């Protein structure tokens, strides 16, 4: 896989503004941010053999520079348990994308490890014209979308600041465990925040970054979707 700098120059050369999910996830990996295991399939047979390698269940997602919100065009199918599921999903996604966006350029199909459901968090970064990159943290779903329960800090983050961000959101008690849900790995979240801070500081061409959602487990975490948008 290419390094972050190589990926950013390639995206610029191609005149693109946003990175494809596998590009964004390769960069995350390079910076120590945990992501779901993935391969890029060019056809149905390859998708099946990659799914066999990764292990079921898997997720299939369209890879296209013309599709930023993949599920809006029927470009994501989760929970594929067999090779036959993968073949059907492959055909279904191709058809969905053709119906929604007939002229979309298809780069391939992302075959991905399915992350088990867990507590979801969101880590984001946005570049402020005056203050430079800033980090955002919140719990996934309604907490961010409805309750706007998020917290911000200017980068670079210190470890203390990362810990403060996590404790600051109103939903923080959920991360400490409730009913049948075990406590979340706070150290893993701190490391994701610190590594994201390092990434946006070292690559000032990033205008927006969105790790949404990240599943947090008792041990470790996994980024399910990653979006990176570059400055023009």
Q: Which residues bind ligand ADP (CB under 6 A)?
A: 36, 59, 61, 69-71, 76, 78, 112-115, 213, 224-225
Q: Which does 224 bind (CB under 5 to 8 A by kind): Mg ion, ligand ADP, none?
A: ligand ADP
**Both tokens assigned to 195:** 């590594």
Q: Closest approach of Cβ 225 to ligand ADP, in Å? A: 3
* Contact (CB, 8 A) for 29 and 192: no
Distance CA 196, CA 37 (A): 19
Contact in structure between 70 and 53 (CB atoms under 8 Å): no
Which CB, 194 or 211, lies closer to ligand ADP?
A: 211
Site of interaction with Mg ion (CB under 5 A):
225
Cβ 35 to ligand ADP shortest distance, Å: 9
Min dist. Cβ of residue 78 to ligand ADP (A): 5
Helix boundaries (H) for 149-211: 159-168, 172-175, 186-202
Query: Which of Mg ion, ligand ADP, none binds 119 (CB below 5-8 Å, type-dependent)?
Result: none
Q: Residue 85 or 225: which CB sits closer to Mg ion?
A: 225
**159 contact partners, CB below 8 Å, separation of at least 6:** 190, 194
Rg, Å, the chain Cα set: 18
Choose between 39 and 61: whose C-beta lies nearer to ligand ADP.
61
Residue 59 interacting entry, from ligand ADP, Mg ion, none, C-beta within 5 to 8 Å by type: ligand ADP
- Can you tell me the distance from the alpha carbon of 157 to that of 174, in angstroms, rounded to the nearest whole number? 23
Q: Which does 139 bind (CB under 5 to 8 A by kind): ligand ADP, Mg ion, none?
A: none
Question: Please, what is the minimum distance in Å from the beta carbon of residue 11 to ligand ADP?
Answer: 17
Distance CA 173, CA 189 (A): 15
Q: 35 or 157: whose CB is closer to Mg ion?
A: 35
Q: Name the minimum Å distance from CB 122 to ligand ADP.
A: 10
Nearest to 99 by CA among 72, 126, 73: 73
CA 87 to chain centre: 24
Measured from the CB atom, the residue of 20 and 189 that comes closer to ligand ADP is 20
Please tell me the distance from the alpha carbon of residue 167 to that of residue 57, in angstroms, as a whole number: 34
């Amino acid at each position: 896989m290419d390094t972050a700098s190589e990926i950013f120059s390639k995206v610029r050369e191609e005149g693109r503004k946003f990175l494809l999910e596998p590009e964004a996830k390769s960069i995350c990996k390079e910076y120590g941010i945990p992501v779901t295991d993935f391969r890029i399939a060019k056809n149905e047979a390859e998708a099946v053999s990659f799914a066999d390698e990764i292990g079921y269940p898997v997720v299939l997602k369209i890879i296209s520079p013309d599709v930023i919100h993949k599920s809006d065009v029927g470009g994501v199918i989760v929970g594929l348990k067999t090779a036959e599921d993968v073949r059907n999903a492959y055909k279904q996604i191709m058809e969905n994308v053709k119906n929604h966006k007939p002229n979309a350029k298809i780069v391939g199909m992302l075959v991905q490890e399915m992350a088990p459901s867990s507590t979801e968090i969101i880590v984001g970064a946005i570049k402020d014209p005056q203050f430079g990159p800033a980090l955002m943290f919140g719990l996934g779903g309604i907490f961010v979308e409805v309750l706007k329960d998020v917290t911000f800090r200017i980068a670079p983050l210190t470890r203390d600041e990362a810990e403060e961000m996590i404790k600051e959101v109103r939903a923080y008690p959920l991360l400490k465990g409730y009913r049948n849900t075990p406590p979340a790995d706070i150290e893993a979240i701190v490391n994701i925040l610190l590594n994201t801070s390092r990434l946006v500081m070292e690559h000032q061409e990033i205008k927006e970054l969105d790790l949404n959602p990240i599943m947090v487990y008792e041990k470790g975490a996994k980024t399910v979707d990653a979006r990176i948008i570059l400055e023009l």
